[in-house]
Amino acid sequence: MKLLRSFFGFLDWLQLDWRRVKVKPFVSNSRGMLQQQLPRIVLTDPNGSSAEVLLYGGHIVSWKNQRKEELLFMSSKAKWKQHKAIRGGISACFARFGDVGSVEQNGMTRNRMWSLDRDPSPLPPINDHSSIDLILKSTGVDLKTPRSFELRLRISLSAGNLILIPRVRNTDNKPFSFAFSLCNYLSVSDISEVRIEGLETLDYVDNLMNRSRFTEQADAITFDGETDRVYLHSPNKIAIIDHEKKRTFVLQKNALPDSVVWNPWNKKAKALPDLGDDDYKMMICVNSAAIDTPILLKPSEEWKGYQEISTVSSSYCSGQLDPNKVLHGFQ
């Protein structure tokens, strides 16, 4: 109850537009009663799209288009309780360089309760967008890091896209470096029907091959087994084409030079306690990241990233979607 009283106390200064932003402290739906202790915020668009954001982890657990189709994947065995990262949706992963484990495995920002930002830094307005600003401040002991920082995340929704703007500020008296990733679990019809375009000819680190480096030789990335790669210096626009759904995700990013592509396939999926045995068939992770080269912040400096995900229709029956149109724009 103390948490909920604190949460509702923020509403006086928020001045929310209740037609577009709804705050629901309890969730009661098919995902089960475990969600009831996780306050959420629902962003809505007049055209019918919506996004559901948990304060826990600053986690986007749902994004639906105007036709109410779910665009994000959520594990059938996701752990809906505090102190456990939630498998699915979109989350921000932050790791100070030198911490044990990769940035995707580091749950320090994914299993903490974030707050609504009382004083968000000014950013250019986005017309016709519903937005929310979240903040997570380091606590030293809580986050087990010797450096003090503030992590902010603006989430904006419109009829056709979802925009995330993360910012990290060094509030310490010493510089530090960090890795960062926006972990995107996208919903697909069948992983074997998915291809990713825009990463061809790039160098990548293969985490399944002792982090050895290779160069992508294929015209596009397709899937027939476990994949865990970090593509280096990737372009600012990537296309994820789902042939069966005739839908393409277009991912645009800035200040996040790497792209992580991950799917556990059947054997790894069965070994993960928070992932259903067959869930791997309906998901693909394509993350916007800064992993290979550390981001260095001096005291009082701030880093800002950007990610935008949108969808366009594509038809496999009438020929594969021209990647140049997706990656470089339609006329």
Query: Residue 319: its pLDDT value, please?
Result: 39
Query: Residue 223: its pLDDT value, please?
Result: 98
Query: Residue 25: its pLDDT value, please?
Result: 36
pLDDT in tens, 274-316: 999 999 999 999 999 999 998 999 999 999 999 999 999 986 4
Query: Residue 183: its pLDDT value, please?
Result: 96
Partners of 180 in beta bridges: 94, 290
Report, in angstroms and rounded to the nearest whole number, the Rg of the chain calculated over CA atoms: 19
Distances (CA, A) of 302 to 133, 149, 171, 233: 16, 10, 9, 21
Alpha-carbon span 283 to 264, nearest angstrom: 10
Query: Residue 141: its pLDDT value, please?
Result: 56
Alpha-carbon span 287 to 94, nearest angstrom: 13
Q: Which three-class secondary structure string do you get for the chain?
A: CHHHHHHHHCHHHHCCCCCCEEEECCCCCCCCHHHHHCCEEEEECCCCCEEEEECECCEEEEEECCCCCECECECCCCCCCCCCCCCECEEEEEEECCCCCCCCCCCCCCCCECEECCCCCCCCCCCCCEEEEEEEECCCCCCCCCCCEEEEEEEEECCCEEEEEEEEEECCCCCEEEEEEEEEEEECCCHHHEEEECCCCCEEEEHHHCCEEEECCCCCECCCCCEEEEECCCCCEEEEEECCCCEEEEEEEECCCEEEEEECHHHHHHHCCCCCCCHHHHEEEEEEEEEEEEEEECCCCEEECEEEEEEEECCCCCCCCCHHHHHHCCC
Number of domains in the chain: 1
pLDDT < 50: residue spans in the chain: 1-20, 22-34, 36, 99-102, 104, 316-321, 330-331
Q: First and final CA of the chain: distance in angstroms?
A: 54
Query: Residue 8: its pLDDT value, please?
Result: 39
pTM of the model: 0.85
Query: Residue 250: its pLDDT value, please?
Result: 97
pLDDT in tens, 185-197: 999 999 999 999 9
263, 226 Cβ separation under 8 angstroms: yes
Query: Residue 39: its pLDDT value, please?
Result: 87
Alpha-carbon span 321 to 178, nearest angstrom: 37
Query: What is the extent of the structural domain holding 271?
Result: 2-329
Residues in contact with 244: Cβ distance below 8 Å, sequence separation at least 6, in sequence order = 189, 190, 193, 316
> Is 40 labelled as part of a ligand binding site?
no
Alpha-carbon span 281 to 46, nearest angstrom: 32
Nearest 5 degrees, angle CA 219-CA 223-CA 226?
130
Query: Residue 23: its pLDDT value, please?
Result: 43
Query: Residue 234: its pLDDT value, please?
Result: 97
Hunting for tokens 């830094």 — which residue is that? 121
CATH number of the domain where residue 141 is located: 2.70.98.10
